Amino acid sequence: MKRFVEFDVLRGVLLLMMSVDHSDSSLRRFTDQPLGFFTTAECFVFVSAFLAGMLFRNRSEKLGFAAARWSSIHRAGRIYRAHLVTLFFAFVLGSFFLSELPGIRNLLDHYLMNPWAAIVGSMALLFRPPLMDILPMYILFSFLTPAAFGAAQRWGWKAVLFVSFSAWVIAQTGVRDMLVTASKDLPFVQLGPFDLLAWQFLWVGGLFMGQRFLENKPLLSMPHLLQPLLVLSAIAFLFWRWISILSGSDPVTQTWLFDKWHLGPLRLINFAVAASVTATFLKYLYRWETPLRPFLLIGRHMLPVFCSQICLSVLLIGRTESGLTVEPITSALVICQLLTAPLFAWFLEWRSVAKQSARPIPPALGANHPIALGEIRMKRHPLSSPAVRQRVLHPL
C-alpha cells in the first residue's frame, strides 16, 4: 500500500504546530487554533484514525482480519514503548536535573510527591502527566480499532457510529469529571485532561472515513448545493475565532459548547466543517512534494520525532515557566526546537534507506535480473527509491 504524500506533509505541519502550542512562546498566537475553535490535537487524532482505518481495511482484505488485528496490536506495542521512553526521560529529568525549577515542578508535581506510585501508574496508563497524555490515548484507540472493525463486520458501520455517538453524548454529562474527582487522592492516578469517552467518537469517525476512502467512495454524501454552505460555515467559524482573539475573551466560546477536553458539540461541528473544506485542497499537495520534503519526512517518521519533540518541550517548559527566559529568547528557543524535527527525521530516513540498501541480493537472482538491478539503483540513489517512498503506512 503506497504512502500518501499529502497526509505525511499534513502530519509534519501539525507536529510543528503542536510543539509551538506546548511552549510559553508568543508564537502560539499563530498556531493555537488558527483555523477555528479546534487544535492540532483534533487534527492528529482524526488523521491518525483515518490512516489506521485505511491500513486495517487494506490488510484485512489482503491478509485476513486476524493479521490486521495483530498489526493494530503490534502498533499499540510500539506506541507503548515510545510512551515509556518519553516518561523515563521526563521522570529522570525531574528527579535529578530540573526538580528545582518551578516549570518542571508544575509539570510533574504528582510524580515528585510519590515517584514510585507514579511510575507504576504510568506503566498501567493510569498516570498521564501533561504533554505525556497523548500517547496513552493512541494506545487505547489502537486496541479500539479492531473492536470497531469487528463490530462493523457483524452489525454494520451505522451501528458502530451510533454506539460511538451515544458514548460521546454520555461524556457531555460530565461522567469523567466525577471519575477524576473520585480518584484525586490516589497517587498512581492522573488521567490527564482528555475525556476519552468523548474523543473516541472522533477516532471511530476517522476509522469509518479511512476505510470508506479506500473503497473510492465519497466521504460525505450531500447535494452539491450544500457544499457552498460548508465553505461559508468554515469561513464564519474562522472569522469568529479571530475576532474572539483580537477582542478578548468571548463568553460563548468559554462554555461547554466549545470545550476542548470533552469535545463540545460546536467544536466538533467546527472541526468537521473545516476538515471537509480542507480535504478539497489537500489532494494537491503531492505536486509540491520536493519543497515540502522536510514536512514529509517528519510525517513519515512521526512517532520517534513526536517523542523527541515532547522531550524537548519538557526541557523548554522547565526554563520558560520558571522565569529563566523571556521574549524574544523564548521564541528563539522554540524555533531551534522546531529545527531539530526535520534534522532528526532526515537522520531516520537516511538510516532506513541505508538498511534497505544493505539488504543482500538473493543468490538465485543473477546480476542482470530486474530485481537485482533495482537493488543496485536503490544503492546509487537511496533517497529517490520508489521502494522507500512507498513503504507501508505507519500512523502514529
Summarised one tens digit per residue, pLDDT across range 6-40 is 889 999 999 999 999 998 888 998 899 999 999 99
Number of structural domains (the chain) is: 1
Name the burial class of residue 14, with classes exposed (0-12), middle (13-18) and buried (19+) by CB atoms within 10 angstroms of its CB. buried
pLDDT at 381: 37
**b/e map 250-275, b = 16+ CB within 10 Å:** eeebeeeebbbebbbebbbbbbbbbb
Confidence of residue 251 (pLDDT cuts 50, 70, 90): confident
Rounded to 10°, the helix 302-320/65-92 angle is 20
- Label residue 370 exposed, middle or buried (CB < 10 Å: 0-12, 13-18, 19+): exposed
Phi/psi of residue 391, nearest 5 degrees: -70, 165
- Residue 108, C-alpha cell as written in the block: 510533574
Determine the average pLDDT of the residues in 112-119: 89
The verdict on residue 186 lying in a domain is: yes
Q: Is the dihedral of CA 64, 67, 73, 74 positive or negative?
A: negative
Q: Tell me: the pLDDT tens digits for 32-68?
A: 999 999 999 999 999 999 999 999 999 999 999 999 9
Q: Collapsing DSSP states into helix, strand and coil, what is residue 32?
A: coil
Return mean pLDDT, the chain. Answer: 84
Residue 245 is assigned to a structural domain of this protein: yes
Give the residue numbers spanning the domain of 83.
Answer: 5-389
Q: Rounded to whole angstroms, how far apart are CA atoms 32 and 245?
A: 10
The answer as to whether 93 is a domain residue is yes
Tell me, yes or no, whether 396 lies in a domain.
Answer: no
Least confident span in 15-19, 192-196, 279-283, 292-296: 279-283
- CA geometry: angle 178, 184, 186, nearest 5 deg: 125
Determine, yes or no, domain membership for 394. Answer: no
DSSP assignments along 126-160, one per residue: -B--TTSSHHHHHHHHHHHHHHHHHHHHHH-HHHH
212-243 tens-digit pLDDT: 887 776 666 666 667 788 889 999 999 999 88
Residue position matching grid coordinates 451505522: 158
Is residue 395, in this structure, part of any structural domain at all? no
In-domain check, residue 187: yes
Closest by Cα among 193, 59, 83, 182 to 140: 83
The tens digit of pLDDT for each residue in 127-150 reads: 998 888 999 999 999 999 999 999
Enumerate the β-bridge partners of residue 127: 190
63-to-55, 60, 165 alpha-carbon distances in Å: 11, 5, 30
Tally of residues, the chain = 396
Question: Residue 82 domain-assigned?
Answer: yes
Which residue is associated with the grid cell 502514529?
396
